């Protein structure tokens, strides 16, 4: 399997949990936040959630010992070291804004302390399943682009003579060679 | 459109090891739940706040799936009933409405997310990967052949 799952639980003060929730109302629409993260092409899925109450069910007695926390669930191609390095290198400010007042967070700029923080706050995944385990995120994106291009080619060559098919096929290969 | 479901449910007291064992005993239950892109199951214990005693153990189930959450939950619950059975107040997988009600009361909402291929269903991704493999093979096999031969071998299989 190519993908690695990671579950990180970061205790945060109540007022920072409020700030995170508020900031998320706008963050999705701010390219400075979303674009560099989307360009990290090795991420299959990354989701953040604030846990304000343990458990969420208000009819169950509150677990008063459990802190408010920021839950980060992700899965990615490659090793956790490459993943952390990319975050530190590509999106340090965005991560800094999110984790600024998370308990014990060392700041986003230096690999070593961030790695130690992640090691300390990671919870091992018991069972992990991915629908297409042998395909990296890049492969999936390429395959979807290729499918779109081939869908456009098919009607053009349907019933075509050999010469037209040859010409169209060569053009298709030229335009999609990076996807194959 | 891919959607997510994150469940954080407290385990019954003292059943964390049984829940872990049940998770370890799973084969590939999510392969039998249609529309599942990705799923994880784990037992998790939040770190305690100072001077507040010990925290409980929780089961975390997180998945990205196609289609409605209700249908996905009902199907997933049947497959992982042996794990969910260690959660407090688990109603059993038999009644889909009860399962959905129970799970949604313990649901966490993701506030921010990044998804690699957000607009493709599991089936579409599978078809696209299969087509990519087929086209790559066809391109290699027909490299340098005449237009007539290419025409004879078309379409890519």
Q: Is residue A129 part of a domain?
A: no
Beta bridge partners of B114: A46
Whether residue A151 is found in the same domain as residue A108? no
Q: Provide the shortest C-alpha distance from residue A115 to chain B (in Å).
A: 19
Size of interface A-B (CB pairs under 8 A): 218
C-alpha torsion angle, residues B12, B15, B16, B19 (rounded to 10): -100
Indicate the pLDDT class of residue A39, thresholds 50, 70 and 90: confident
Q: Which of B149, B135, B133, B137 is nearest to A166 (CA)?
A: B149
* Interface ipTM > 0.85: yes
The partner residue sitting opposite B148, judged by closest CB among A41, A66, A162, is A162
The partner residue sitting opposite B4, judged by closest CB among A47, A130, A137, is A47
Whether residue A100 is found in the same domain as residue A142? no
**From CA B11, how far away is CA B57, in angstroms rounded?**
6
Q: Is residue A20 part of a domain?
A: yes
Of residues B105 and A81, more confidently modeled: B105
Whether residue A92 is found in the same domain as residue A173? no
Whether residue A110 is found in the same domain as residue A150? no
Whether residue A51 is found in the same domain as residue A19? yes
Whether residue A46 is found in the same domain as residue A92? yes
Whether residue A33 is found in the same domain as residue A116? yes
Q: Is residue A130 part of a domain?
A: no
Q: Is residue A128 part of a domain?
A: no
Residue A2 pLDDT > 80, yes or no? no
* Per-residue b or e along A61-83, where b marks 16 or more CB atoms closer than 10 Å to that residue's CB: eebebbbbbbbbbbbbbeebeeb
Q: Is residue A56 part of a domain?
A: yes
Angstrom distances, CA of residue A150 to CA of A153, B7, B91, B124:
5, 39, 48, 14
Our count of domains for chain A comes to 2
Whether residue A162 is found in the same domain as residue A78? no
Q: Which domain holds residue A87?
A: 3-121
Say yes or no for a CB contact (<8 Å) between B125 and A142: no
Instruction: Mention every residue, 6+ apart, whose C-beta is less than 8 A from residue B106.
Output: A55, A56, A57, B7, B8, B9
**From CA B103, how far away is CA B5, in angstroms rounded?**
9
Whether residue A20 is found in the same domain as residue A80? yes
Q: What is the model's pTM? A: 0.90
pLDDT of residue A1: 52
Can you give the CATH number for the domain in which A23 is found? 3.30.70
């Amino acid at each position: 399997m190519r993908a690695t799952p990671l579950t990180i639980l970061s205790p945060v003060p109540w007022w920072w949990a409020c700030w995170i929730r508020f900031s998320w109302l706008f963050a999705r629409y701010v390219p400075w936040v979303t674009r560099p993260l989307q360009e990290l092409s090795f991420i299959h899925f990354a989701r953040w959630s604030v846990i304000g109450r343990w458990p969420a069910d208000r009819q169950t007695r509150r677990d008063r010992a459990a802190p408010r926390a920021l839950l980060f669930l992700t899965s990615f191609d490659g090793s956790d070291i490459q993943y952390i390095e990319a975050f530190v290198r590509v999106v340090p400010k965005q991560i800094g804004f999110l984790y600024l007042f998370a308990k014990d967070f060392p700041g986003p700029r230096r690999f070593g302390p961030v790695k130690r923080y992640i090691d300390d706050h990671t919870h091992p995944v018991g069972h992990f399943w991915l629908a297409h385990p042998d395909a990296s995120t890049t492969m999936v994106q390429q395959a979807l682009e290729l499918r779109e291009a081939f869908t456009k080619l098919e009607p053009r060559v349907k019933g075509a003579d050999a010469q037209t098919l040859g010409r169209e096929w060569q053009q298709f290969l030229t335009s999609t060679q990076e996807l194959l | 459109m891919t959607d997510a479901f994150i469940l954080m449910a407290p385990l019954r007291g003292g059943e964390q090891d049984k829940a872990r064992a049940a998770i370890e005993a799973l084969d590939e239950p999510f392969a039998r739940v249609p529309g599942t892109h990705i799923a994880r199951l784990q037992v998790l214990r939040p770190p305690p706040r100072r001077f507040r005693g010990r925290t409980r153990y929780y089961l975390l189930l997180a998945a990205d799936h196609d289609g409605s959450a209700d249908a996905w939950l009902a199907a997933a619950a049947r497959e992982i009933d042996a794990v969910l059975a260690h959660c407090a107040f688990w109603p059993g997988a038999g009644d889909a409405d009860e399962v959905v009600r129970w799970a949604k009361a313990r649901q966490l909402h993701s506030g921010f997310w990044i998804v690699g291929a957000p607009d493709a269903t599991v089936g579409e991704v599978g078809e696209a990967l299969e087509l990519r493999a087929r086209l790559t093979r066809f391109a290699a096999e027909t490299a340098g052949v005449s237009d007539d031969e290419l025409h004879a071998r078309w379409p890519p299989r």
